[in-house]
Amino acid sequence: MNESGTLRLLPWTAVDGKPCFLVSDGDGYLSRVADNIEAVQLGMGSDLLTHATHMLKEQEISTGELHFLACRLAEALKDVLRVAESRGARLPTAEHEDADPRTPGDAPDGDDDLEPPAPAR
């Protein structure tokens, strides 16, 4: 943080996978782009959850389909947690609040490769 604005975790990473941050008052062009991307991520996560619920209730699905669905749900959860972390970091905090020891953008298990394996022959 500095005098001209707050530090914001952006909803994307750098090419090397490291988190991107913006120092802003929240009213600039890049802040609006980040807000729009976050809205898309949250909407897609909601749509995916609805799809998963229907899929699991109404259809008999294969192991491969279930694995693919689980991978997409994990990706959506990662996006939602990043949005929550970014928004939470911008809320006023109490002085005695316990801090999360993870750094911004850390995946809980550190595994960012959630692509399903190639089908067995």
Residue 31 to residues 25, 26, 44, 77, Cα–Cα distance (Å) = 9, 6, 20, 22
Contacts of 104 (CB under 8 A, 6+ apart): 9, 19, 21, 85, 86, 89
Q: For residue 23, what is the enclosing H or E element?
A: strand 19-24
What Å distances lie between residue 5 and 13, 21, 38, 109, CA to CA?
21, 12, 20, 32
Q: What is the reported pTM?
A: 0.69
The burial class, CB within 10 Å (0-12 / 13-18 / 19+), for 57 is: exposed
CA distance between the termini of the chain: 54
24 beta partners: 6
Along the 121 residues of the chain, how does pLDDT read in single tens digits?
445 578 899 999 999 999 999 998 888 999 999 999 999 999 999 999 999 999 999 778 899 999 999 999 999 999 999 999 999 988 887 764 555 555 555 555 545 555 555 555 4
- Measured CA to CA, the distance from residue 99 to residue 88 in angstroms comes to 12
